[in-house]
Amino acid sequence: MSLAISIEDLSFGYKDQQRKNFSHLHLHIQKGERFGIFGPNGAGKTTLMNIMTGLLEYESGSVKLLGHEVKNNKKNITKLFGFVPQDFSFYHELSPAENMEFFGAWAGLNKKQIQRKITELLTVLGLEDVRNKPVQKFSGGMKRRINLAIAVMNEPQVLFMDEPTVGVDVQTRNAIIEYLKELNKKGTTLVYTSHQLSEAEQLCERIALIDEGKIVANDTLINLYKEHQQDGLEKLFLELTGKEFRD
């Protein structure tokens, strides 16, 4: 199986900070995998995602997305992936359809493709009834689904998701996870971060646990449970990252 993401010897630190966020980090994610990145607050999950999507520039090492070095191919790689940011990164004054029209155009789709995708995605994500209503008054769960719908409009080969289910109810979480599994069956590689450890058990085939810029575990859940003699991800998480507050 070929690699969707290959990170070799990555070092990164924010300009205004002395401390390096990552030092000599290695990580491989296979094509078609459902991969979860977990860790306590401030562990570097969002930073790592921003590096993989080209939003942050790394100093040394190599980060490849589907064989393309991210640093040198920023514009080319944007066609290959979708990104669900942690924030509701769309226009609240617009309706879901209007938002998708705009972001669809920016993703390189034509008018016909955009209209097809709007109908398809809003139906799947249960937003068809509100397709023309301004997002402003929507619930958090509805906004999360719009955030996701925008990111998958261009049928990405790799989908990065930064806490895509934070603050949503059980029904919405379930709907999102089911949709992501469907997407994965069609070949999309899923890379996601979350605090919801139960989600990892539902969705992820393999996880990486990050703490203080280092990968402290990287394997399938079954192997990790066996290795650390734990029966749940929460216990495993506490064993590997400790019980101290991190923020």
Partner 1 sequence: MFKLKATILKDIRILLRDKIGLVIMFAMPILLAIVITSVQNSTFELVNENKIPLLVYNKDKGETGKELITALQKIGIFELHQLSGEYSEKDIAEKMHNKDALVAIVVPGDYSAEVLRKAKNVTREALKKLDIGTDSMLIKSSAETPLTLYYHPVLQQSFRNSIDGAIKSSLQLIQSKFIVKNLYQEVNEEAIPDSLETQILSNQTPINEIPVSKDGSRTIPTASQHNVPAWTIFAMFFIVISLGSSIVREKQSGSFTRLRTLPTSFAVALLSKQITYLLVTLMQAIVIFSIGIWLFPKMGLPALNLPADKAALLLVTLICGWCATSFAICIGVFAQTQEQANGIGAVSIVLLAAIGGLLVPSFAMPSSFRYIMQLSPLHWCLEAFYGLFLEGGKLRDILLNILPLLAITILLQLLAVYGLKRKNLI
Q: Using CB under 8 A, list all residues that contact partner 1.
A: 53-56, 75-76, 78-79, 81, 83, 85-94, 98, 101-108, 110-111, 134, 150
**Which helix H or strand E contains 173, and what residues bound it?**
helix 170-185
CB of 151 to partner 1, least distance (A): 8
CB of 147 to partner 1, least distance (A): 9
Joined tokens for residue 229 = 């003699």
In whole angstroms, what is the distance from residue 71 CA to residue 55 CA?
10
Angle (deg, nearest 10), helices 233-241 and 221-228: 60
In whole angstroms, what is the distance from residue 80 CA to residue 246 CA?
34
CB of 137 to partner 1, least distance (A): 13
Cβ-based neighbour number of residue 102 at 10 Å: 15
Instruction: Give whichever of 34 and 143 is closer to partner 1, judged by the CB atom.
Output: 143
CB of 176 to partner 1, least distance (A): 18
Instruction: Give whichever of 56 and 240 is closer to partner 1, judged by the CB atom.
Output: 56
Instruction: Give whichever of 102 and 225 is closer to partner 1, judged by the CB atom.
Output: 102
Pairing of strands 22-30, 206-211: unpaired
Joined tokens for residue 172 = 């919405």
Instruction: Give whichever of 163 and 211 is closer to partner 1, judged by the CB atom.
Output: 163
Instruction: Give whichever of 26 and 111 is closer to partner 1, judged by the CB atom.
Output: 111
- In the three-class reduction of DSSP (H, G, I as helix; E, B as strand; rest coil), residue 64 is classed as strand
Q: How far is CA 232 from CA 138, 190, 200, in A?
A: 35, 22, 11
CB of 79 to partner 1, least distance (A): 5
CB of 89 to partner 1, least distance (A): 4
How far, rounded to the nearest angstrom, does the alpha carbon of residue 244 sit from its chain's CA centroid? Answer: 26
Instruction: Give whichever of 49 and 208 is closer to partner 1, judged by the CB atom.
Output: 49
For residue 124, the 8-state DSSP code is H
CB of 22 to partner 1, least distance (A): 18
Instruction: Give whichever of 83 and 237 is closer to partner 1, judged by the CB atom.
Output: 83
Note whether 191 and 35 are within 8 A (CB): yes
